[in-house]
Amino acid sequence: MQLLSNTHCFSGEQRFYQHDSKVIGLPMKFGIYLPPKALAGERCLVLIYLAGLTCNEETFPIKAHAQQIASDLGVILISPDTSPRGESVAVGDYWDIGQGAGFYLDATEQPWAPHYRMESYITSELYSLIQNSFAVQRIGLMGHSMGGHGALTLALRHPDLFRSVSAIAPIAAPIDCPWGIKAFSTYLGADQSTWIEHDATRLVQAKGKLFNNILIDQGLEDKFLNQLNPDLFEAACTHVGQPLQLRRHAHYDHGYYFIQSVMTDHVIFHVEAFV
């Protein structure tokens, strides 16, 4: 790994790294916040945050204001990029496809398949890199919007890897919204039988209870609410007995001011999941 920057923050360190990814076939970047306990060599809970459309590895560390609670509770925060980058990478025809919009799956269609392998990157390569490079106790997963979709689907697909999961305004039933239909048809092709493997609502219906609890926060003034479908995910969880805490918030929208407002609760949720 190449250390790009290192900044003192709440008695810990906010770092950014770049490494050559064999899975992606290109260099990838990620942010990491190391609390004082981690710097002292103690094993810590790791919380991976998957960001949403148009974001990168810097968005969460700069905008979410999570470092103080992570410092207080001894939590390592990881913020990977949302897609491969570079001139050789397919760009897409709009902001919700291509760079900045990897959707945390492994694409099977051209020209996306060679580099858009974000599921394997997160669950295999980055996961192993974190375990081998830092003092890891256990790993939890959370995300926002497209990253909330990623957090839910990757946790449900790989419950052996992630001990807890939460999301903020996730795309919870992508097969039922324009964002998901566009992404799945572009990256996975026309065969919709492959789409259900990346739809959180269908996954929980198929797999049943996997976690002691799942936390989701949703703003009711979110202009994308008709794309997110938290009610469908809630109904699926109720049907199979998967405990879910879905908190609906009046006045809040889809942005990072909302994320800041609930971030402390999410970090505490993951810490308490390991008690």
Q: Among all residues, which ones are annotated catalytic?
A: 145, 222, 254
Cα separation, 126 vs 80, whole angstroms: 8
Query: Among 273, 218, 245, which residue's Cα sits nearest to residue 75?
Result: 273
Q: Judge contact between 71 and 35, C-beta under 8 A.
A: yes
Radius of gyration, alpha carbons of the chain:
17
Q: Pick from 97, 68, 72, 70: which is nearest to 82 by CA?
A: 97
Q: Are 257 and 221 in contact (CB under 8 A)?
A: no
How far, in Å, CA of 24 to CA of 132, rounded?
Answer: 19
Tokens standing for residue 274: 């390991």
Three-state secondary structure call for residue 158: coil
